[in-house]
Structure 1
Amino acid sequence: MIGPGADPPWLPSDARLGDGVDLGGSTRSQVRRHQVLEAPPSWGSSVVVKRFLPQPDGHRAAMGYTRERVGLTHLPGTPRLLASHDPSRTLVLEDLGADSPTLADVLLAERATPGASGRDTSAAAYWQAIEWAGALGRTVRSPAGMPDAARAELADAAAEDRRVRQDYPRTGLSRLREVAGVRHAGAATAEILDAVERLERDTARHVLGPGDTCPDNALLTPAGVRFVDLEGAGVRHVAYEAAYAAEPFSTCWCVLTPPVGLTGAMLTAFTAGAGEHLPGLADDPDWPAQVRVAVAAWVLSGTLWLLDGAVADRAMAPAGRRGPQFRALLLSRWRWVVHECAEELPDVAAACDEALRWALRAWRDGSPLELPPYPAFAD
């Protein structure tokens, strides 16, 4: 039992909690659900306690606690922040319950075929994905609305984010040159860095967003979509958030092939939601190109993260979960850029085309190179 006067120091003096159940966490944090024995009524019958683990200086995850605390404080559609303790980097959060599925659960679930129930399952997954995108658009906020103290707390994270938005695509292209001999890598680097800089200068569309909005971080609750795991919260151009709908799911492990038309509908829903805070977004002819630039930047960044796993022909999903092979995912991402970005980013598209043709030759004897469909939509 955890109570007043006992360790840990993050517990308010008027609260007592049960011992708790481990919810998994990661190498960055420990997450536990605790029964509430005594606390303010707003805490409910249970809470989730997330304690961030020490990280090496300069490691990007070292900012996770500050990012998540600021995000939980200022972004709607997230768990309520009930208490925080800076010295121990601990957050006490509203418990959203164990019964609500994530969007990943829905997309990766087998259809209830045959018969009408199967069609209903598929349609439900389709509309839940669109609702996720609309909720994500409505979640982003202008950083101008944050108190000065919160903006100051995010200053180091913002500087870090600006650096990696250039370093990651650059290094991804450098790796393609080293591993695949991509000749367009130099021209593509200059092109993508120039395009990224244009997004950096478009400060009117910079927003505070939750960051890692993968399907497994989105709970489908009776009250609507709720976003959890805000360790990547920060200020960036809204196109980087929109890319999760268009691509889809820019930094996620649970990426398979969506049905035709779904990502377009998701981007439309995201744009409508974000347009509540950024008037005129849907009518701006430059907006689709900005989203394509952001997707291309994510793809080149993902090339850095995924290429070694693809060369080794590994699978991405956590144990016991369905997910893609590294190779199939990378090829799918490169194809997206080749098909969608040839007009505004011709050198980037050419580099991805080179990578694609190299991979089809080099990896022809390994795992399948086509990304399978999401089970929720499979015939």
Structure 2
Amino acid sequence: MELILRAAGELLDTELSDPVDLGGSSRSTVLRCGTADGGSVIVKAFSGEPDSLRCFTAEAAGLSLGIAGPELLGVDPGFPLLVMSDLGNAPTLADVLLGSDPAVAENGLLAWARGLGRLAAESVHRRADLMRLWTRYDKGMPPWEDEPWIARNSAALLALLDDAGITAPPGLAEELARIGTAEGEGEGYPAFTPGDTCPDNNLLTPEGLRLIDFEVACYQSVFLTAAYCRMPFSSCWCVFTLPAGTAAQIERAYRAEVAGVYPALAEDAVWQAGMRRAVAVWTVDATVRLLPRTVEDGPLHRTRRPAPTRRQVLRHRWETASGLEDLPALAETMRSLLREVAGGWDVAPLPGYPAFGNREASEPPRAPADVTTTG
């Protein structure tokens, strides 16, 4: 920590003190530090592991675009670390979803969806800029968008089914190959994303939504981001069910923003096909990540409560994907997993988000107040 403080202080040409650990990860250390003028900054230092170095490059390049996130005050590629403005202790979207006020939670969801949509729309013509910035901060790792994670997950799913003694239905390999192609994942509609748009990486400040954590910043299909509205939160720990109509409402909010720059997305046939493939992509991802860890079930988050268990989330994902009629082999695979794997799990159904717990299921979503949204 002393080395981090010294390096960050030299970068800003000021003395930093009183570091508070904000809880980084195995890849990074995140500190709130006091400055000589009585203010504070956020310092994020990365380890020397390959994935950590790639996360450093992504965060430095993504924040340097200047279209979202905290202000980037300095970058030291040699350490490596970066210093950002301090956005304070505003609640996250996870905080309000796990809270008790349904109106605050609904407004937070809409702010999140609109904010991501506006960011996508504003970023469409900045892809070359991100690549230029990636080169500036390059630590020898390829950009995230060059990572063949969808194809790798597809191969891993086939191996998992074999290990579980489940026969893959005819056509599954071909469907998995299709959702992993540029056409299948909607590569014709790329946009910038911080990469990890989960609820705890979205601050609801008095000035509007602010995004944090750009470790996986890249350009990807807008459908892969929009699926977070529908599923909800495709790759996150803060996964519960939403009231009827709320998921559709936030999906419409995101879609309205991106359809302004990609007019074809206003066509239902285009939108729905892309969304179904994105749900398939994320369901395969969840299965590959979580199924090997369900031998002993447990909460998805190490410390936050409430948190769903791995089995609860997987069963919910499989139930959702079992209705993907234009991917019949994948849908049949999900039904097989529900019968032959989840059928033996003694686990409660995935509950609703606590914030909506006092809303009757038949009650329509209330009209939310307008929420100012900024990067």
- Asked whether the two chains share a fold, i.e. TM above 0.5, the reply is yes
Correspondence for 2:366:
none
Gap regions ≥5 residues in structure 1: 39-43, 112-120
Correspondence for 1:129:
109
Secondary structure in structure 1 of the residue aligned to 2:316: helix
Correspondence for 2:93:
103
The two structures have a TM-score, normalised by structure 1, of 0.85
Tell me the CA shift for residue 284 of structure 1: 5.5
Q: Residues 36 and 45 of structure 1 are in contact (CA less than 8 Å); yes or no, is this contact kept in structure 2?
A: yes
Q: Residues 34 and 41 of structure 2 are in contact (CA less than 8 Å); yes or no, is this contact kept in structure 1?
A: yes
What one-letter code is carried by the residue in structure 1 that aligns with 2:104?
Answer: A
**Taking structure 1 as reference, are residues 200 and 338 closer, same or farther at Cα in structure 2, changes over 3 Å only?**
closer
Q: Residues 83 and 91 of structure 1 are in contact (CA less than 8 Å); yes or no, is this contact kept in structure 2?
A: yes
Pairing partner for 1:351 from 333, 357, 374: 333
The count of corresponding residues between Structure 1 and Structure 2 is 351
Q: Residues 28 and 52 of structure 2 are in contact (CA less than 8 Å); yes or no, is this contact kept in structure 1?
A: no
**1:60-75 map, 5 Å:** 60-74=51-65
Correspondence for 2:34:
35
Correspondence for 1:150:
133
Q: Residues 72 and 230 of structure 1 are in contact (CA less than 8 Å); yes or no, is this contact kept in structure 2?
A: yes
Tell me the CA shift for residue 23 of structure 1: 0.8
Q: Residues 206 and 236 of structure 1 are in contact (CA less than 8 Å); yes or no, is this contact kept in structure 2?
A: yes
**Taking structure 1 as reference, are residues 221 and 29 closer, same or farther at Cα in structure 2, changes over 3 Å only?**
same
**Taking structure 1 as reference, are residues 10 and 148 closer, same or farther at Cα in structure 2, changes over 3 Å only?**
farther
Q: C-alpha deviations, 1:274-295, integer Å up to 9, x for none? A: 2344344223521221121011
Correspondence for 1:115:
none
Correspondence for 1:253:
237
Correspondence for 2:361:
none
Q: Residues 314 and 326 of structure 1 are in contact (CA less than 8 Å); yes or no, is this contact kept in structure 2?
A: yes
Q: Residues 211 and 233 of structure 1 are in contact (CA less than 8 Å); yes or no, is this contact kept in structure 2?
A: yes
Q: Residues 103 and 219 of structure 1 are in contact (CA less than 8 Å); yes or no, is this contact kept in structure 2?
A: yes
Tell me the CA shift for residue 235 of structure 1: 1.9
Aligned mates of 2:166, 2:66 — CA distance in 1: 41
Q: Which runs of 4+ in 1 moved over 6 A?
A: none
Tell me the CA shift for residue 193 of structure 1: 1.6
Secondary structure in structure 1 of the residue aligned to 2:266: coil
Secondary structure in structure 1 of the residue aligned to 2:336: helix
Aligned mates of 1:277, 1:287 — CA distance in 2: 14
Which range moves more in the overlay, 319-328 or 271-280? Answer: 271-280
Secondary structure in structure 2 of the residue aligned to 1:47: strand
Tell me the CA shift for residue 10 of structure 1: 6.6
What one-letter code is carried by the residue in structure 2 that aligns with 1:314?
Answer: G
Tell me the CA shift for residue 13 of structure 1: 5.6
Q: C-alpha deviations, 1:45-70, integer Å up to 9, x for none? A: 21100001121x4xx44410011111
Secondary structure in structure 1 of the residue aligned to 2:191: strand
Secondary structure in structure 2 of the residue aligned to 1:197: coil
Tell me the CA shift for residue 131 of structure 1: 1.7
Correspondence for 2:354:
375
Aligned mates of 1:158, 1:224 — CA distance in 2: 28
**What RMSD, in angstroms, separates the aligned Cα atoms of the two structures?**
2.4
**Taking structure 1 as reference, are residues 350 and 300 closer, same or farther at Cα in structure 2, changes over 3 Å only?**
same
The two structures have a TM-score, normalised by structure 2, of 0.86
Correspondence for 1:328:
312
Q: Residues 300 and 308 of structure 2 are in contact (CA less than 8 Å); yes or no, is this contact kept in structure 1?
A: yes
Q: Residues 199 and 237 of structure 1 are in contact (CA less than 8 Å); yes or no, is this contact kept in structure 2?
A: no
Correspondence for 1:274:
258
Pairing partner for 1:194 from 157, 178, 181: 178
Secondary structure in structure 1 of the residue aligned to 2:36: strand
**Taking structure 1 as reference, are residues 206 and 75 closer, same or farther at Cα in structure 2, changes over 3 Å only?**
farther
Which range moves more in the overlay, 233-242 or 80-89? Answer: 233-242
Aligned mates of 1:328, 1:263 — CA distance in 2: 19
